[in-house]
């Protein structure tokens, strides 16, 4: 197994132009494929999760041209759902933003589709989405375990009507139904059952749909109405914002080390909820300066916070390692669904934080982190989870080195993360 030794970083300072947002890249690619007309996507993310979506679109008969650096993509929209003559098997890795939305879009397409993924994908729930689509008449079967991929989908025209979606485990189920809804035969009313988690991701979905010409009525995130007769139309160009979750590691580094870091590609008006990660750093004692297209953080001494972070589940992981540098006990609450992501993140973070000497309480849906007097040198296991690798790089901001096992797992969303971190790290 490959290992990366990160030696203590003296100080942090610099500017990072963020790679494109994973959430926006995969949403925009799917909608561009089904839209009428041609879309030119710019600042597309080049990472494994996006490659899975692109490979799937190729097999589904969508033509697109990708630039040499894979950050520009011109998509020739079909103007309707997908249509394939022979059964297609689509391997989607561990990309939730490909698996869930494609499941819904293919359920109303013409053809037979098998959706598969990495072993961990077979442990990530999809039952709530399948249940929702079945209410609209979808024919979806589980090929191994009930409620989990792989799936066999026999696509057919679906009626709209009233569909109940359980939103309590992942917002991606609702995102998937919303994005498919304009292609249903009639008006669709979506009712949310349970407490909707990760709400800001629904704003990303609605905003992307609006850019492709479809309006959705949002009744306080409890009910959504997609009126009949709307269709996706290519917006011409679509600029993918920088990835706000990826920004969190650089901003945290500045906050921890007392330096100044500016990230560009997201800002005050960004549609991504994870931009609010900067507000958590502010609450911990950092100074934050917002621009239309940048966020700048300057560190100060950090103190612990106790917060509900359900709205920023991905960036919240970065707070768990930032807590190693704050005085007091940091509590991150209402994050049960960390357990059903790339790994059981609540358990994995607890285990790895303890290795560096932190006192950690692992709750059913929360984590509490108290830093030790001095961090211990440790080999960090990353569980094939890009965010664990990136979060623990912050340990090198102490005067103790850290070893990251299997650093290549950042390829899911940020293949050159460690090189980009090195650019703002100074001895
Ligand atoms: O819709 C999206 O783009 C995402 C939604 C979130 O998942 P959940 O809704 O499952 O929390 C987030 O963790 C994931 O990385 C991306
Ligand atoms: C949860 C994540 O990914 P996915 O889109 O596969 O759900 C993530 O990127 O942290």
Taking alpha carbons only, the member of 55, 53, 61 closest to residue 82 is: 61
What atom of ligand 2 comes closest to residue 413's alpha carbon? 9
Let me know if 314 is a catalytic residue.
yes
Q: State the Cα–Cα distance between residues 87 and 155, nearest whole angstrom.
A: 10
Catalytic position from the list 131, 166, 314, 406: 314
Task: Give the Å distance between the CA of 2 and the centre of ligand 1.
Answer: 28
For residue 40, what are the contacts with CB-CB under 8 A and spacing of at least 6? 72, 73, 74, 75, 236, 237, 238
Q: How far apart are CA 373 and CA 395, in angstroms?
A: 14
Q: What is the pLDDT of residues 235-282, one digit of tens each?
A: 999 999 999 999 999 999 999 999 999 999 999 999 999 999 999 999
Q: What interface predicted TM-score (ipTM) does this complex get? A: 0.99
At 174-208, the pLDDT tens digits run 999 999 999 999 999 999 999 999 999 999 999 99
Is 27 near ligand 2, meaning CB less than 6 Å away?
no
Q: Rounded CA gap, 204 and 183, in Å?
A: 19
Measured in angstroms, how far is the CA atom of residue 300 from the centroid of ligand 2? 30
pLDDT band at 219 (very low <50, low <70, confident <90, very high): very high
Backbone angles phi, psi at 328, to 5 degrees: 100, -175
Asked if residue 314 belongs to a known ligand binding site, the reply is: yes
Peptide bond into 423 cis (omega under 30): no
Output the pLDDT for position 121: 98
Q: pTM value?
A: 0.98
- CA quadruple 304, 391, 11, 254: dihedral positive or negative? negative
pLDDT at residue number 281: 98
What distance in Å separates the CA atoms of residue 56 and residue 216, rounded to the nearest whole number? Answer: 27
Question: DSSP class of residue 9?
Answer: P
Q: How far apart are CA 208 and CA 232, in angstroms?
A: 11
* Mode of pairing for the β-strands spanning 359-362 and 367-370: antiparallel
pLDDT at 300: 82
């Amino acid at each position: 197994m490959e290992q990366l030794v990160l030696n203590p970083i003296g100080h942090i300072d610099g500017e990072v132009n963020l790679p494109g947002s994973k959430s926006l890249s995969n949403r925009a690619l799917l909608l561009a494929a089904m839209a009428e007309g041609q879309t030119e996507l710019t600042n597309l993310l080049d990472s494994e999760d996006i490659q899975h979506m692109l490979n799937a679109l190729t097999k589904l008969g969508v033509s697109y041209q990708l630039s040499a650096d894979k950050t520009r993509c011109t998509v020739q929209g079909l103007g309707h759902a997908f249509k394939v003559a022979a059964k297609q098997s689509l391997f989607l890795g561990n990309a939730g933003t490909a698996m869930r939305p494609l499941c819904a879009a293919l359920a109303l397409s013409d053809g037979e589709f098998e959706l598969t993924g990495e072993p961990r994908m077979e442990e990530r729930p999809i039952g709530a989405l399948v249940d929702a689509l079945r209410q609209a008449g979808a024919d979806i079967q589980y090929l191994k375990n009930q409620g989990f991929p792989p799936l066999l989908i026999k696509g057919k025209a679906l009626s709209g009507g009233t569909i109940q979606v359980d939103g309590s485990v992942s917002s991606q189920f609702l995102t998937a139904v919303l994005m498919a809804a304009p292609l249903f035969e009639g008006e669709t009313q979506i009712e949310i059952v349970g407490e909707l988690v990760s709400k800001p991701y629904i704003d990303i979905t609605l905003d992307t749909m609006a850019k492709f010409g479809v309006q959705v009525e949002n009744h306080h995130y409890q009910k959504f109405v997609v009126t009949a007769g709307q269709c996706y139309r290519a917006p011409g160009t679509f600029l993918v914002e920088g990835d706000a979750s990826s920004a969190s590691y650089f901003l945290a580094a500045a906050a921890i080390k007392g330096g100044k870091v500016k990230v560009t590609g997201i800002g005050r008006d960004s549609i991504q909820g994870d931009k609010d990660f900067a507000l958590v750093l502010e609450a911990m004692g950092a100074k934050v300066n917002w621009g239309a297209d940048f966020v700048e953080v300057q560190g100060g001494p950090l103190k612990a916070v106790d917060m509900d972070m359900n709205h920023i589940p991905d960036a919240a992981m970065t707070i768990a390692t930032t807590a190693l540098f704050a005085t007091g006990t940091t509590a991150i609450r209402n994050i049960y669904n960390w357990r059903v992501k790339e790994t059981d993140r609540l358990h994995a973070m607890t285990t790895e934080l303890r290795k560096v000497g932190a006192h950690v309480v692992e709750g059913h849906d929360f984590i509490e982190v108290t830093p030790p007097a001095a961090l211990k040198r440790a080999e960090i296991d990353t569980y094939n989870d890009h965010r664990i690798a990136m979060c623990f790089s912050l340990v090198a901001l102490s005067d103790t080195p850290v070893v990251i096992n299997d650093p290549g797992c950042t390829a899911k969303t940020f293949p050159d993360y460690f090189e980009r971190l090195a650019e703002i790290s100074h001895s």
